[in-house]
Amino acid sequence: MEKVIFLDRDGVINRDKRDYVRSWDEFDFLPNVFVALRKLTELRYKIIIISNQAGISKGLYTQGSLSEMTEKMLERIRRNSASIHAVHYCQHRDEDNCSCRKPKTGLFKQALLGKAIDLNETFFVGDSQRDIEAGKNLGCKTILVLSGHTKKEQEVLDFKFKPDFVAVDLLDAVESVIEKKEEPNKGRR
């Protein structure tokens, strides 16, 4: 079985500006992201980014800008000894009613084609209620990080779907949840 972890982009990997990140000049990695991604890579997780990017269909930035941001993001991550397996974007607006815009699961299913995984052992790390709902719709474990759209744990009380775990940021999610899950059971025979 392959180990897969899904990550939202804005608010998990880079700062969520509460508006669209329209160019590489606006792309700002969050603190400790490279350390967290390196740990996930060392734990042999296939890291897959799943992100809604409706700014394309709204005409706020171009496909070329998104491609440039993605290429430069992946290059910086590689230079920091981590590896992203794949990146999938939904470029539709809510009113397009597509199957790929989170909280729907079309992008996840596309990313999982040909992979043998156990969804009960798969994580989705996101920063919003929409992300948690998407993870629940998929049937995987969800981790809400407070480094993006959602800033305070008490905001979760208003969520229709509750996360399995809450973490300060991606590094905290990796250290508090994922690495602990990976540790062998000490003292058991």
Q: Which residues are catalytic?
A: 8, 10
Which residue has tokens 């880079």?
Answer: 14
Could you give the dihedral angle defined by the CA atoms of residues 134, 160, 31 and 101, in that order, rounded to the nearest 10 degrees? 30
Cα–Cα distance, 11 to 28 (Å, whole number): 10
Cβ atoms of 149 and 128 within 8 Å: the answer is yes
Which stretches of the chain are DSSP H helices? 33-42, 63-79, 106-112, 129-138, 170-173, 179-182
Q: 65: number of CA atoms within 13 Å, CB side?
A: 17
Q: What share of the chain is helix, strand, coil (3-state, %, to 5)?
A: 40, 15, 45
Structure tokens at 145: 């990080």
